[in-house]
Structure 1
Amino acid sequence: MDVARVQRRLGVRVDGAFGPVTLTALLRKLGAPAGTAGPLAGGVGSLEGAVILDSGLRLAHFLAQAAHETMGFSRMIEIWGPTPAQRRYEGRKDLGNVQPGDGFRYRGRGIPHLTGRDNYRRFGSLIGVDLEGQPGLAAEPAIAMAIGGAYWTARRINAAADRDDVEAVTRLVNGGLTGIDDRRRHLARAKAILL
């Protein structure tokens, strides 16, 4: 990725280093609220670890998925109805939801929205945070970004992003094609800045 070119497009200091200032400006350009962009950008190191920053195309796909999952970076917690689908979280052994209240306790949080006790345990372990014991931490912006980087790596999403296959990336993130048109719109916006 030509970081200096991206920085010029964003109107930030051109130093060729993709750090929190550049990511904050990029997130703002993609619609993140001012109060969320900076704290999210504090997790930029997790994107380096996930090798997302090695490619503008990877970063565009990551940010497009993140934007959709979080309603434009404004919701780090799933809106709870509960809907019929959300009611089905309760008691789902495949998610590790084995105790009463686990469905709500381990509802979607972070980037992407993690669901289920097992995912909170697994990704918390990967990033070194007790998310199972303190699930609310998954909604904190820097931790949400770290979850996103760990999830991206664990699901091996870089290969699909490198092929520019938004449907494959979406299936790896979401399990289906929910919101594919919105994800495509976010991807086009991110590509216009990053590529």
Structure 2
Amino acid sequence: MAVHTIRPGDTLSALARKYNTSIDALAKANNLRDPNRIFAGQTLVVPDGFDGPRRPAAGNPSTSSDSFNGNGGRYTVRPGDTLSGIASRYGTSVGAIAQANGISNPNFIQVGQQLASGAAYEGRADLVNTQPGDGVRFKGRGPIQLSGRANYRAAGRALGIDLENNPTRAADPDVGFRTAAWYWNNRHLNSYADAGNFDAITYRVNGGYNGKASRDAYYARALQVLGG
């Protein structure tokens, strides 16, 4: 039976993934009444039968370090994530992820930030990614993951910032949250929010429903926490 000492930023869901077990199993093994309440310095018992910290499966691009080397895979930052934790999970290094994603400060990553090369968006005419390298140049940045030359150009013009020629500015908090507000208002998403139509918002922001189960879970949790 292994033990794990909680570090700042740890979450029970992240530990369950790391040790190939479940939140319920960890909670039961440690008599945790509320799985959302763990604290730094606390020692948790990892149930017998775990397989050890998760390592990437060979040839699986969704869980390998290829996710960060330009092959188009991506990972969306969740609450409690740290760059070191993500690097450990995918069997790569903090430096490799930071370099692939243009992260100047590895200690600062945003919830909802997409860690990806942007290569998956290369040649997307609907995003006006018409020049070589546009996929990487105009990859998802900011809380709402502004993506594509067309959106960078339009957001920049609306905010009075040349994002088309300075796309990395969209990752800075002082700009990123403004692009998110611009995108939300430009797509008239308040009407869907007021109607509780979360799926419509997801589609208009993401262009599809990939990751829907995870989004629904976070939405339900937010409603619970905020008393909605």
Fold shared, TM-score > 0.5 on shorter chain: yes
User: Does the alignment pair 1:186 with 2:222?
Assistant: no
Q: Unpaired segments of 5 or more residues in structure 2?
A: 1-35, 37-74, 80-108
Q: 1:133 to 1:76 in 2, by over 3 A?
A: farther
Alignment pair present for 1:71 and 2:107:
no
TM-score normalised according to structure 2 size:
0.49
Q: How far 1:180 moved relative to its partner?
A: 1.4
Structure 1's 69 and 172: CA in aligned 2 closer, same or farther, altered over 3 A? Answer: farther
Percent of residue pairs bearing the same amino acid type: 38
Q: Point out where structure 1 has 5 or more consecutive residues left out of the alignment.
A: 1-28, 30-67
Does the Cα contact within 8 Å between 1:91 and 1:103 map onto a contact in 2?
yes
Is the 2:127–2:151 Cα contact (8 Å) retained in structure 1?
A: yes
Shift of the alpha carbon at 1:94?
2.1
Q: Deviations over 1:141-165 (max 9, x none)?
A: 1211111111111111111111111
Which residue, 154, 157, 165 being the options, matches 2:186? 154
Deviation, structure 1 residue 71: 3.2
What is the distance in 2 between the residues matched to 1:190 and 1:76? 14
Structure number having the greater strand percentage: 2
AA in 2 matched with 1:79: L
Count matched residues: 125
Does the 8 A contact of 1:69 with 1:113 survive in 2?
A: no
Report runs of 4+ in structure 1 exceeding 6 Å deviation: none
Q: Secondary structure at the match of 1:79?
A: strand
Give the aligned CA root-mean-square deviation in angstroms: 2.4
TM-score normalised to structure 1 length: 0.57
**Partner residue in 2 for 1:124:** 156
Which residue does the alignment assign to 2:206? 174
Alpha carbons 1:70, 1:112 under 8 Å: kept: no
Q: Which structure: greater helix fraction?
A: 1
The alpha-carbon deviation at position 75 of structure 1 amounts to: 5.3
**Does residue 140 of structure 1 match 2:177?**
no
Counterpart Cα distance in 2 of 1:194 and 1:131: 37
Hey, what does 1:111 align to over in structure 2? Answer: 143
Question: Any residues of structure 2 matched to 1:19-58 within 5 Å, and which?
Answer: none
Which fold has the larger relative contact order, with Cα–Cα distance below 8 Å and residues 6 or more apart in sequence? 1
Contact 2:110/2:143, CA 8 A, preserved across alignment? no
Match of residue 17 from structure 1:
none
Q: Is the 8 A contact 2:156 2:162 kept in 1?
A: yes
